Every structure is written in C-alpha cells, then in structure tokens.
Structure 1
Amino acid sequence: MMDDLGVKEAFASITGQALLKALLVIVIASLVTVVIQKVFPRFAEKLGGKPRLYLLASVPLLRLLIILGTIVAVVPILVEPSFENMVAIFGALALALGFAFKDYANSLIAGIVTLYEMPYRPGDWIEVDGQYGEVRAIDARAAEIVTPDDTVVIIPHNKLWNSLIANDNDGTDNLMCVVDFHLEANHDVGQVRELLRDVAFTSPRTKTWQPVVVIVFNKPWGMHYRLKAYPFDPKEQFQFISELTARGSTELARQNVRFVSAPVAVN
C-alpha cells in the first residue's frame, strides 16, 4: 500500500548528509522546547497574577509552533519538496496514524483543538469527570492537573468530545469561592447577611473590588446562606474558604445565631 502512495520513491533520494542535517534540526528544536518548558513556568511563578497565566498559556502554543516548524524544516531536507512527494509522505502518515494510533491520533487532534479553542490553559482550575485541580501542563496528547491533595491526574484531550469540562477561572485570576452556612431559622436575616459580607470584606485575601454576595435560601430545616467572594490568587481558594468559614462561624456565634444541629440533606 505504501508503494501505491509513492513513499518508496519519495525517500529514495535520502542521503546520510541529509539525515545528519535533519537530526541536528530535531535536536535543536528539542532543546529549545525543553528550555521553554523549564524556564517559562519558573519565571511565571515569580510574576503571579494575570502575567503568570498568560506566560503559562504560551508554553503549549510555542511547543506546537516549534513542532510544526521542525516538520516544515525537516521534510524538505530529507525529501525533494515536490507536490507528488508531499502527497505521498503526508498520505502515508495519515494512513499510519489512522490504523495504528487511532486513539492517540484522536487525542492529538483534540490537543490541537484545545490550543485553538482554549477550553483550559495552564493555571486554570478545571473539573473533568469528577477530578478537580489546576492545569499544570498541556502536552500534545493530554493535560496534567494537580488536585488539592497534590495528586497529578492525566486527562487525555479527547475528553473534549464527550465530557463536560468546568473551568472556574477561564484564563483569568478571578475565581469565585462559595462558603455555605446552614443556620436555624430564628434570627435577623438582614443582620446575618451584613455580618457575612463584613467577614468577606475584612479578609486580607479578598479582592474587595470584585462582587461580594450573600444569597439566602429558606429551607424546611432553617436558613441556607451562601457567601460568594474572590480571593487574590486562585491557588489560595481553599485557605480562603477555610478562613471565611472559621471567621464567619465565630461571628455568628457571638450573635447567638445557631447552626442546624441535626444532619440534613442540603441542596
């Protein structure tokens, strides 16, 4: 089948010198890729905020550009860049990927779609199939996320085709945190709402220029409050939630507002 595509004729003119040149190009491209993958994340951690997210997001895009540039540079070195040769080579490559690496090719294509549509980027906090964490790296086939328990989870890009992906900050440094309080009904609702808003606004971790909202629901067992606010750094979301929970509980206790004492099904 490969002979029918003209692959044999396309590679017939390859010389040892051409192979050495192609190898040199590949080695240089690999070294540049490694440097980018090592240096950019370290530099991004020192910047913080939006510059950190933008710099992290540039890593997979630069890697893809290097890979494409390497292919464009190597193929003419090895093969005479005629129309017939290009059709033969890329036709054989597509055929090989289709039969031997169907799932892998599926993930590679999804990876290209990921870089174009950017449903998630390095630095984003996403949830896929019940796994929640920060995107640490986006490779050609899969993305790596680090969960709050410091577990690395590999998520193939082909999850794009059939899974819901929740992105909490979507390429920004704004990530809303929600703190729940389940209280008995006998209290001043307006006073409790103001108290919880003050708890959020007085936290040193709160972005006070972003909305701080307290939503209350009337439940059969009492009142359900949801305090919504934004921390300065998405990485601090769990410390932020813990702080608001602790300080909110303390202030509510001072006002003699009681939490529900029996386990309930909370929506």
Structure 2
Amino acid sequence: MEGMDDYSRLFNELDSQALIELGLVLGGAILLILLSQKALNWVANRLHGQYRFRVFALVPLARLAILVAAIGMAVPIVIEPSLRNMITLLGAVGLAIGFALRDYVSSLIAGVVAAVEMPYRPGDWVEVEGTYGEVVHVGMRTIEVVTPDDDLVSIPHLKIWDSAIHNANNGGDSLQCVADFHLHPDHDAQRVTEALRDVALTSPYLRFDRPVAVVASEQSWGTHYKVRAYPVDPRQQFRFVTDLTLRGRAVLGRLGARPVQVPVTPGNAAS
C-alpha cells in the first residue's frame, strides 16, 4: 500500500484547465504530424534521385521529434516535476524500455559473439531461415544480405542463438553449386554420367582446381542426378547452374534420356 501511495503522489490532480492543456498538446501534435507529412511528401515528390528518398526518410524522423516534444510538454501537466518524482518516473520508464528492448540488447550481445566466432563475414553467401544471399555488411545489431532478387534483407544477430546459419563459402572463394536432373529410368546410366561430367568440365564458369562430381540416386519415379561443381567466383553461381542445366538438358536429349515429372510428396520434396 505504501508503494501505491508513492506512485499516487506522482500525479497532479487533473482539473479542467489541465485537461484543456493536455487536449491542446495532443491536438497540436496531431496537427503538426499531419502538416509535416504533407509538406515533406510535397517537397519529395518535386525532387529527383537520392534527394527524393532523403526527404522521404525525414517523415518518420519528424513524426518522432513531434511526439517526443509533445510528451515532454504533457509530462509536467500530469506529474509534479520534483526531483523525487522524476527519479521514480525515470526508473519505471527505464524498466519498461529495458523490457521492450530485450531483443535489441540480445542482438547486440549476439553481434559481439558473432564477431568472435565469425559464422559469417562480408562476402559470404549465407542462408538464415529461408533467406539466402551475399553478406554485404555486418553491423552491431544486424547483417545486411543481398538476395539473388537484389533485395536487401536485414537479419538480426540474435538468430545465431536458435537458428541454423548455412554458410556456402565460409570466408573463401570456393562455393559448390548443384545442377539437378530428373530422368526416366529407361536410359544408359553410364553414358548419362559421363555426358553430365563433360558438360561441367566444358563450362566457361568452371573452377578447374576443385572436384567435379556426378551423383545419382534411384527414386520411385526414376533417377535423380546431381552435378556438383565449383564456379570461378561465388557470384557466378547462378549463371553457372543455368549453363549446366541448359547444356545438360540438350546433351541428355541427344542421348535419348527423357526427363520425368517429379511428384511432389513429403518423401522427395527436399531431394
């Protein structure tokens, strides 16, 4: 009860004048936010290039500044601005902020761990929870990954606590690519294996000091072939796989090896 009395003494009695002042502060803040958004959007739409995007970026900053100013004006109306009250209020606000920012702090700590263990570096090709791309920046809280579709994705470091980090090249320039072929069982497996190996060895993107492997696995619908090889540069991986796939299909067609439609079932969805 004594603690409740301490918190009750924080607040002033809200008479009609205080309510009017709070209403004016709230109304003024809403009006300023609307005016600032319209004004900045009007200016941005008349600019070009980077200047346009920089002005657009000021919209949330202006809104935040107005809200902070409004809160700063409203607090003395509601709370008696004494030293004791301010200390009590700041303690409660600090506890609330600390609880709200626990994931942010966790990401910062995970960033320190990542700097020591180095599960990823700039230039690595990583996959985290289905997002695959090249790491272009490692910050204190997040890493920035550019996907094959040229999307910039920010991934918080805290993912290293409970998610698998798939690193395709691990700080080096050696990245294995896989081209898949699904064939009807009626074919000459030896000739297909040799032909797919020749396709990889004649690719202009092939890195010759790394091994080339053709792996076959028998499935209920036919035979699944995987051509595993390494491009000269990790950034060539998609052109490399495309080259292997297109020329491989052409060679298999000349050999009479027919492709087969793979049924989508839980057993072979990941194969």
Q: TM-score, normalised by structure 1?
A: 0.62
CA RMSD across the alignment? 1.7
Give the whole-Å Cα distance in 2 for the aligned partners of 1:99 and 1:254.
Answer: 65
Displacement of 1:111 = 0.6
Superposed, which structure 2 residues align to 1:83-102 within 5 Å? Answer: 101-102=101-102
Give the whole-Å Cα distance in 2 for the aligned partners of 1:227 and 1:99.
Answer: 50
Q: How many equivalent residue pairs?
A: 172
Q: Which amino acid aligns with 1:201?
A: L
Q: Which position in structure 2 is the counterpart of 1:119?
A: 119
Contact 2:182 2:262 in 1 (8 A): no
* 1:94-128 Cα deviation digits (max 9, x unpaired): x9995674322211111111111000000101111
Superposed, which structure 2 residues align to 1:56-95 within 5 Å? Answer: none
Indicate the structure whose relative CO is greater, using CA pairs within 8 Å and at least 6 residues apart: 1
Give the whole-Å Cα distance in 2 for the aligned partners of 1:105 and 1:142.
Answer: 12
Give the whole-Å Cα distance in 1 for the aligned partners of 2:149 and 2:159.
Answer: 22
Q: Which position in structure 1 is the counterpart of 2:248?
A: 248
Q: Which position in structure 1 is the counterpart of 2:175?
A: 175
Higher alpha-carbon Rg = 2
What is the DSSP-based 3-state SS (H/G/I as helix, E as strand, rest coil) of the residue aligned with 1:181? Answer: strand
Give the whole-Å Cα distance in 2 for the aligned partners of 1:144 and 1:175.
Answer: 20
Displacement of 1:188 = 1.3
Give the whole-Å Cα distance in 1 for the aligned partners of 2:111 and 2:126.
Answer: 16
Confirm or deny that 1:152 pairs with 2:152.
Answer: yes
Displacement of 1:256 = 1.3
Q: Which position in structure 1 is the counterpart of 2:137?
A: 137
Displacement of 1:255 = 1.1
* 1:222-251 Cα deviation digits (max 9, x unpaired): 111010000011111111100100000011
List runs of 5+ in structure 2 lacking aligned partners. 1-93
Q: Which amino acid aligns with 1:172?
A: G
Contact 2:168 2:175 in 1 (8 A): yes
Give the whole-Å Cα distance in 1 for the aligned partners of 2:183 and 2:107.
Answer: 47
Give the whole-Å Cα distance in 1 for the aligned partners of 2:192 and 2:110.
Answer: 48
Q: Which amino acid aligns with 1:188?
A: D
Contact 2:221 2:262 in 1 (8 A): no
Displacement of 1:263 = 4.2
Give the whole-Å Cα distance in 1 for the aligned partners of 2:100 and 2:219.
Answer: 57
Give the whole-Å Cα distance in 2 for the aligned partners of 1:207 and 1:196.
Answer: 16
Q: Which position in structure 2 is the counterpart of 1:29?
A: none
Confirm or deny that 1:235 pairs with 2:235.
Answer: yes
Q: TM-score, normalised by structure 2?
A: 0.61
Displacement of 1:155 = 0.3
* 1:210-231 Cα deviation digits (max 9, x unpaired): 0100000111211110100000
Give the whole-Å Cα distance in 2 for the aligned partners of 1:143 and 1:263.
Answer: 37
Distance change (3 Å), C-alpha of 1:142 and 1:186 = same
Give the whole-Å Cα distance in 2 for the aligned partners of 1:240 and 1:103.
Answer: 39
Q: Which position in structure 1 is the counterpart of 2:263?
A: 264
Q: Which amino acid aligns with 1:264?
A: P
Give the whole-Å Cα distance in 2 for the aligned partners of 1:223 and 1:145.
Answer: 35
Q: Which position in structure 2 is the counterpart of 1:190?
A: 190
Give the whole-Å Cα distance in 2 for the aligned partners of 1:154 and 1:242.
Answer: 28
Q: Which position in structure 1 is the counterpart of 2:84?
A: none
Identity rate, percent: 51
Give the whole-Å Cα distance in 1 for the aligned partners of 2:136 and 2:128.
Answer: 14
What is the DSSP-based 3-state SS (H/G/I as helix, E as strand, rest coil) of the residue aligned with 2:113? Answer: helix
Q: Which position in structure 2 is the counterpart of 1:206?
A: 206
